């Protein structure tokens, strides 16, 4: 609880920035910071910067930094708190009321606030629990429990979001990579999309067993892992696998079988090793020519390879069903391959037992395996 509030002026060199408090403050974008700086430069500082009795900033970190840059003398509002936890709650609440916050940031602050409230509740309970030797003492305490209902709905209502959205955001904060969390914080990736990525990664940790049975046509699009960062990085779209994990898969292939394996150009050596590791011999390839170019390291890629490998004595297609080596098809969702590939494979090898590995959808007449189904 705040005991008192007074307005004053301070020597700027005596003002302290608490890194823990500053971390709780969602950063402004470059445009927001520029707009705030121009406003202070033209109109001065309208709202005082809040500090505690030790001159530690509680609210107004950006305003303080801008005032120092512009040599503007700000007014300060001093708040004195009896309990350090109340002070931290004030810092969080000062940020939660800001309208520009992304939902993930609101949930992050709400979770931090809940931790503090839980600590305060624990302190209150400890203060009221009879000690050993006192009347009413019970081993283990006498804390009662109450029915909370759906916690996610209660927490979500505190920050103006649905319980489901709150639940998704919490899962992202608990499980997503720092890079993905930052993309959501910056508004570059939606909560729903990031939640799907986290859920897929969980399924990847306990992948489904490979399909039972023996198949003579294998179609696969492995989730290759890249070791450099580029725009459109696959890790933001689906869980990836190490090359060694892909090579170690025990493919349910018949003694006489054919493999159709998608490979991007940077991963061609790894794809050729995959063919060999799965017991096939490389024969030839298709080229998928896309209607627009995408990302790339040396060049902007506009094509992908569909490699063909064989095992045993599977025959080559008859002359009438041998297709052109070029597949021309439009780009759709990230990494989704053209449906024409199914039709080509079925035409080349009709009436076979087909299996698709790392599938994204089911197709009639095929067995589909993957963690994105």
Kindly report the average pLDDT of the chain as a whole number.
83
pLDDT tier for residue 126 given thresholds of 50, 70 and 90:
confident
**pLDDT beyond 90 at 236:** no
Mean pLDDT within 331-359? 91
Is 352 or 156 the better-scoring residue by pLDDT? 352
pLDDT tier for residue 247 given thresholds of 50, 70 and 90:
very high
Is 203 or 135 the better-scoring residue by pLDDT? 203
3-state secondary structure of 80: strand
Find the farthest-apart pair of alpha carbons in the chain and give their distance in angstroms, rounded.
96
Is 157 or 38 the better-scoring residue by pLDDT? 38
2-96 CATH fold: 3.90.1530
Strands 215-220 and 76-81 turn out to be: unpaired
Those residues with Cβ within 8 angstroms of residue 86's Cβ, 6 or more apart along the chain or in another chain: 1, 2
From the options 3.40.50.150, 3.40.50.12500, 3.40.190.10, 1.25.40.340, give the CATH code of 215-369: 3.40.50.150
- Residue 204: CA count within 13 A, CB half-sphere: 19
Structure confidence at residue 255 (pLDDT): 95
Nearest to 313 by CA among 343, 285, 280, 344: 280
Is 196 or 249 the better-scoring residue by pLDDT? 249
Structure confidence at residue 136 (pLDDT): 47
Mean pLDDT within 349-370? 93
119/86 Cα distance (integer angstroms): 11
Nearest to 86 by CA among 124, 48, 130, 126: 124
Q: How does pLDDT run across 290-342, given as a tens digit for each residue?
A: 998 877 778 888 999 999 999 999 999 999 999 999 999 998 776 689 999 99
pLDDT tier for residue 372 given thresholds of 50, 70 and 90:
low
Structure confidence at residue 190 (pLDDT): 85
Task: Tell me the range of 99-113, 192-206, 226-240 where mean pLDDT is highest.
Answer: 99-113
Query: Can you read off the two tokens belonging to residue 372?
Result: 């994105």
Structure confidence at residue 303 (pLDDT): 93
Structure confidence at residue 131 (pLDDT): 54
Name which of 63-72, 227-236, 285-294, 340-349 the model is least confident about.
227-236
Mean pLDDT within 152-159? 77
| Domain regions of the chain by residue span | 2-96, 103-131+146-204, 215-369
pLDDT tier for residue 269 given thresholds of 50, 70 and 90:
very high
16/58 Cα distance (integer angstroms): 10
Name which of 1-10, 53-62, 240-249, 263-272 the model is least confident about.
1-10
Structure confidence at residue 268 (pLDDT): 96
Phi and psi dihedrals of 313, rounded to 5? -115, 40
**pLDDT beyond 90 at 183:** no
pLDDT tier for residue 66 given thresholds of 50, 70 and 90:
very high
Name which of 7-16, 41-50, 109-118, 121-130 the model is least confident about.
121-130
pLDDT tier for residue 114 given thresholds of 50, 70 and 90:
confident
């Amino acid at each position: 609880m705040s005991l008192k509030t007074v307005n004053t002026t301070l020597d700027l060199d005596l003002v302290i920035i608490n890194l823990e408090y500053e971390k709780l403050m969602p950063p402004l974008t470059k445009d927001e910071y520029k707009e705030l700086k121009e406003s202070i430069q033209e109109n001065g500082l309208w709202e005082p910067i809040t500090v505690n009795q030790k001159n530690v900033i509680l609210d107004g970190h950006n305003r303080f930094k801008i005032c120092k840059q512009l040599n503007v003398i700000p007014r300060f509002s001093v708040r004195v708190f009896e309990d350090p936890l109340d002070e931290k709650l004030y810092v969080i609440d000062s940020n939660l009321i800001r309208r520009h916050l992304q939902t993930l940031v609101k949930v992050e602050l709400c979770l931090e606030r809940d931790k503090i409230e839980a600590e305060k509740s624990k302190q209150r309970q400890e203060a009221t629990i009879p000690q050993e030797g006192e009347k009413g003492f019970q081993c283990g305490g006498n804390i009662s429990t109450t029915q909370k209902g759906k916690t996610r709905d209660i927490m979500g209502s505190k920050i103006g979001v649905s319980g489901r959205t709150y639940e998704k955001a919490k899962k992202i904060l608990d499980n997503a990579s720092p890079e993905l969390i930052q993309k959501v914080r910056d508004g570059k990736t939606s909560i729903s999309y990031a939640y799907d990525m986290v859920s897929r990664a969980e399924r990847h940790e306990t992948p489904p067993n490979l399909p039972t049975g023996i198949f003579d046509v294998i179609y696969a699009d492995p989730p290759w892992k890249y070791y450099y960062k580029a725009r459109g990085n696959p890790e933001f779209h689906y869980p990836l696998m190490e090359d060694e994990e892909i090579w170690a898969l025990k493919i349910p292939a018949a003694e006489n079988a054919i493999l159709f394996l998608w490979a991007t150009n940077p991963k061609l050596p790894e794809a050729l090793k995959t063919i060999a590791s799965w017991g096939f011999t490389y024969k030839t390839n298709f080229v998928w020519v896309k209607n627009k170019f995408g990302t790339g390291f040396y060049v902007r890629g506009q094509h992908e390879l569909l490699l063909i490998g064989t095992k045993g004595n599977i025959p080559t297609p008859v002359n009438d069903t041998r297709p052109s080596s070029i597949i021309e098809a439009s780009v759709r969702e990230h990494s989704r391959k053209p449906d024409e590939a199914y039709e080509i494979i079925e035409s080349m090898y009709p009436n076979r037992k087909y299996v698709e590995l790392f599938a994204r959808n089911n197709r009639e007449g095929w067995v589909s395996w993957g963690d994105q189904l």
